Chains A and B, each alone.
Chain A
Amino acid sequence: MLLFDKKKTSALKHFIILQFKFYLELFLTLHFQKMTTINSIDKTIIDIQKVRAQFPILSRRVNGKLLIYFDNGATAQKPIQVIDAIVYYYINQNANIHRGVHTLSQEITVAYEHARVTIQKHLNAEHAHEIIFTKGTTDSINLVAHSFGKKYITKGDEIIISEMEHHSNILPWQQLCEEKGAILKVIPINDSGELLMDEYEKLLSSKTKIVSVTHISNVLGTINPVKEIIALAHAKNIPVLIDGAQAVPHTKADVQELDADFYCFSAHKLFGPTGVGILYGKEKYLNEMPPYQVGGGTIKTVTFAKTEYADLPLKFEAGTPHIAGGMGLAAAINYVNEIGLDAIAAYEHELLVYATSALNKINGVKIIGEAANKASVISFVVEGLHPFDLGTILDQLGIAVRTGHHCTQPLMQRFGIQGTVRVSFAFYNTKEEIDEFIIGLERAIKMLS
């Protein structure tokens, strides 16, 4: 009996140990799976508190209130990583590039060219020399209009833009048309703020020399089908310029995948410094195009009789560039990639949906731009009230929004309005801020009505 009991006890012990082992393994397996799930989620979720802490300006007060910055479409705030890169340049690296034989100059030349490669990889351009540093999107478009125009545009040629363009993507072409006797054609949009692609196809002809459209509208938030726009133009051998100013902070722009001939953006909307931007251009065009501005750095040899210009990209980079800006831009790109553009797009879409639904609940609010495919930009008007008044009251509440025509007067004419209030979100904005904004807007409407 005792022996049996001993045996029984030992069997029981054995059983318990087995059971324990089984559950331990099960637990570990499940836990491990959970861990890996959490890890994979981590790559698509933004740690909002950590991110906000990296933007020093977000902790300042405006009119006594903690700043709520919803004017990211105008310019984005800068993370400490970008600020540090600029400060580091001036403290440790300052020298002119591409010139000196001394160590400092050589170090910064390497660093600056490395920044160019960072941008090349980010845009997935084939060559680093297809990346031209400019002052910004406006400067990039002016460069193309001027230089491409000089080479390729003659009397009677046609240039296609769209009804939703920023003045920066209208005026350079308008001026070029006036100079050359060319004709500006405009792709119309529907009431939701989407390009009428049928109309676009009809505009493309043997006279069309270039198409220049925005990737994302700065007012409507519409994400244009740029890949399709490019493919349709390419079917007729027409090159396409894409204004990516509003797109790069929200989405991945792969110039080879899009097959864009030119792509431009500004660093300051991509959390980088002001005064620096990028023009990507296909080698085959950039090589043929004459220099835009000429001077130091753009040459191989100069005599009073003739000048031989440098190869790409220096041909288009006259004078000492914004070196600190280039370093800052590279830091901004690295920063954005660390967070991940997919995570950014997913989070901003959440903010867009949340804010759109909250705005639609307010009496008298009408959203301008209701495209199916939208970035986190919302323009709206309030019946009977002026955007300027709303913006002024919101500012008193510490909420920064944009009001006015947003440099898109033809678009305002299309919708028969003087201007809008625009809120544009970045990944450091939160739903709590949107709640505050909605309360503020309701308060403003009450005060002004």
Chain B
Amino acid sequence: MSIEEIEQEIIEEFEIFDDWMGKYEFLIDMGKSLPMIEEKYKTDDKLIKGCQSRVWMHSELKDGKVIFTADSDAIITKGMVALMVRVLSNHTPDEIINAKLEFVDKIGLTQHLSPTRSNGLVSMIKQMKMDALAYKVK
């Protein structure tokens, strides 16, 4: 599936919920199912700065595609990390760099992109794109 197709899939999943509580519960469940980062990668250099909650992100290149694994100590953040990993992982560096990620707005989580939120969704996206860029120029 392309990045856009996964985004569309997520938008449809979120459409089922008409109140915030359902959305957050869904996000929390998604956080719980996040493929965990290996313990050895949960180091300070894998920590994404600008998060009130801690997010560890690790990436590697496999057959030309970037694989992300991540974890967070806050469950809602973890849910958002899970969403981002689901959308961006297993794609080529170019696809990741060019991803518009409009689904965040469409599923009603735009408020998490505001800088005052300091949960680091913005930092997270930036870090993932930076990693992709690094693999591209290698």
Contact = CB atoms under 8 A, between A and B. Distances in A.
Partners in one complex: yes
Interface of A: 63, 385-389, 392-393, 396, 403-404, 418-419, 447-448
Contact of B77 (A385, A388, A404, A418): A388
Given A386-B75, A388-B77, A418-B73, A447 B52 contact: no
Nearest to A396: B20
A392 B72 CA distance: 15
Given A418-B73, A448-B28, 17 more contacts: A63-B20, A385-B75, A386-B75, A388-B53, A389-B53, A389-B74, A389-B76, A392-B24, A392-B119, A393-B76, A396-B21, A403-B52, A418-B54, A419-B52, A447-B24, A447-B25, A447-B28
A386 B24 contact: no
A392 B76 contact: yes
Contacts of B21: 396, 447
Interface string B75-102: 1110000000000000000000000000
A52 to B, nearest CB: 26
Contacts of A396: 20-21, 24
A404 B77 CA distance: 14
Interface of B: 20-21, 24-25, 28, 52-54, 73-77, 118-119
Nearest to A64: B20
Contact of B76 (A63, A388, A418): A388
A389 B73 CA distance: 10
A419 B28 CA distance: 20
Contacts of B24: 392-393, 396, 447
B75 A448 contact: yes
Nearest to B111: A395
Could you say which of A388, A403, A404 has the most chain B C-beta atoms within 10 Å of its C-beta? A388
Contacts of B77: 386, 388-389
Contact of B73 (A386, A392, A404): A386
Contact of A386 (B20, B25, B53, B118): B53
Q: 6 nearest interchain CB pairs?
A: A386-B74, A388-B74, A388-B53, A389-B76, A404-B52, A388-B52
B50 to A, nearest CB: 12
A419 B54 CA distance: 11
A63 B19 CA distance: 11
B122 to A, nearest CB: 15
A392 B52 CA distance: 12
Contacts of B20: 63, 396
Contacts of A447: 21, 24-25, 28
A344 to B, nearest CB: 29
A53 B132 CA distance: 54
Contacts of A448: 28, 75-76
A389 B54 contact: no
26 contacts: A63-B20, A385-B75, A386-B73, A386-B74, A386-B75, A387-B52, A388-B52, A388-B53, A388-B76, A388-B77, A389-B53, A389-B76, A389-B77, A392-B24, A393-B76, A396-B20, A396-B21, A396-B24, A403-B52, A404-B52, A418-B54, A418-B73, A447-B21, A447-B25, A447-B28, A448-B28
Contacts of A392: 24, 76, 119
A441 to B, nearest CB: 15
Contacts of B76: 388-389, 392-393, 448
A447 B24 CA distance: 9
A68 B77 CA distance: 24
B90 to A, nearest CB: 28
A251 to B, nearest CB: 30
Contacts of A404: 52, 118
Contacts of A63: 20
Contacts of B54: 418
Nearest to A386: B74
Nearest to B118: A404
A403 B52 CA distance: 8
A219 to B, nearest CB: 15
A448 B54 CA distance: 17
A392 B76 CA distance: 8
A104 B124 CA distance: 53
Nearest to B20: A396
Contacts of A419: 52
A385 B77 CA distance: 12
Nearest to B112: A392
A104 to B, nearest CB: 38
B72 to A, nearest CB: 8
Contacts of B118: 404
